[in-house]
Structures are given as structure tokens and as C-alpha cells.
Structure 1
Amino acid sequence: MKFENKGFTGLKAELSRLDDCMLEYGLVREGQWDYERVTYDRKFELKEGIFYLRIQGYAVEGDVGAGKALIQLMTPLLGKYYYPHGVEYGEGESFPKSLAAQCEKILTELKSEIAHFAK
């Protein structure tokens, strides 16, 4: 599920500021990065399954590995985890309405906070 029109696409911010801000909302980068890309995930364990809110971005300046990069964010996603295949975001997936609403709220608040330091 894509969260279109949330204002994340094209939003640019410094990596260190993003890391701190995302963590406040439970989105962690952990080992999900390379020198050009980052992925922030928040895991939701519900009776319907395991779901991930994911925000991805890529470096338009600098180097993620060095901790100094300007990151351009992409459209946030909500996916369902299937063992052993991984996370699926497809159109055919169904997501609990309460989870989608919770993710919408998180994204609205997060976007507002990032806007304070975005470039």
C-alpha cells in the first residue's frame, strides 16, 4: 500500500536529523542502508499478521556510510510480511483499517516534524 500525496516524495533532509526524527516515531534504519540508499521500518505485530511501515530514501549529496548525506525521501509504503518470502506491498494485499489509519497519523505527524529542518 502506497501512501501517496503525503508530501514525502522529493522531501530532502540531512541523514543525522532524519535518523533522530524517524526513531521518535519508531522507524529504525538499523542495517538497512548502503552508500546511496536508506530504509526506515516500523514493525507492527497484529493478530492479522506482521506488517511494516517503510520509508525509503536515497542520497542526493554525500555518503550514507560516512553519516553525512542529504537524503531525498520517497513515497511511504505499508507491507505485509510472509515467511519465508518477505514483505509484499502489492495491490492485492489487504490491510486492517485501524493499522492504515494509525500509519496515516504517524506519517502526518512525521512529515510536519521533518518539514522544520527539510532543505
Structure 2
Amino acid sequence: MKIEDFDFHGKEFNFGSLVHVMENNGFIHEGQWDYERVTFDYKMLDKTDDATYFLRVQAIAIKGEIPKEDAEVRLLTPFFGRHYYPHGIEYDEDFPDKVINKCKQKIESVYNELVEAEQA
């Protein structure tokens, strides 16, 4: 499911700032990058229905190369899905409101911190 409630898609940021803000908000990007694109994942466990969800934020390099801190990247629309072992992540299904709300809160927090970091 895409999260399109924020003016997120297409915004450009410094890669070093992006990494700092994403890690500060619990996202990881272990090996999920190449020189042109990066993916950050936030893992959520829902013990009420024994489900694992992933919120995913991707960016592409527009100047320089990832993982150099001075590279400039453009954000893509964030999305999330439910992980089904061993098949992978399903993005097109009905998700619990609590998961949707958590994802929106997380994206809002990330976006606000990125804007603050760029203005500093």
C-alpha cells in the first residue's frame, strides 16, 4: 500500500542527512543499496495476529553516488506490506488501521526531521 498523504515523493535531500534521520527513526538499509538507489525498511511486529509488516522508503541518486554522504537523492513514494514466510511481502491487501496509522506517523516524523535537517 502506498502512503501518499504527505508531500514526500520527489523531495530531494542530502544522503548523509537521510541516513541519519532514517536510522534515528528505526529504519535500516543493510545491503539494500547500489550506487543509484537505496531502500530503507522499518519492521513492525503485530503480536495480535502474529504478523510482520515492513514500511519501505526508497530513494534514487540524482547527484553523486550512494553511499557517499554528499550525494543528493530524490525520495520515492513510501509503501508498506505484510511479510508472508517464505514467499515475501504482499502490498495489495486490507491492512489493519493501527498499522496504517503507525506507518503514517512514522513517515510524518521522518519527513519533518528531514525538512528540519535541510534547513539547519
RMSD: 1.5
Runs of 4+ in 1 over 6 A off after TM superposition: none
**How far does residue 118 in structure 1 lie from its aligned partner after superposition?**
4.2
Letter in 2 for 1:74: L
| Paired-residue identity, % | 37
Equivalent residue letter for 1:109: S
What letter matches 2:34 in structure 1? D
Question: Please, what TM-score do these two structures have when normalized by structure 1?
Answer: 0.90
Kindly indicate whether the alpha-carbon contact (under 8 Å) linking 2:16 and 2:68 is maintained by their aligned counterparts in 1. Answer: no
Partner of 2:104: 104
Maintained 8 Å contact 2:15/2:67: no
Uncovered stretches (5+) of structure 1, i.e. residues with no partner: none
Distance of 2:83 and 2:115 partners within structure 1 = 30
Q: Which residue of 2 aligns with 1:29?
A: 29
- SS of the residue corresponding to residue 63 of structure 1 reads coil
In 2, are the aligned partners of 1:12 and 1:118 still within 8 Å (CA)?
A: no
Distance 2:29 2:38 in 1: 7
Number of matched pairs: 117
SS in 2 for 1:17: helix
Normalising by structure 2, what TM-score?
0.89
Structure 2 segments unaligned to the other structure (5+ residues) = none
Q: Quick one: structure 1 residues 15 and 69, their matched pair in 2 at CA, closer, same or farther if it must change by over 3 Å?
A: same
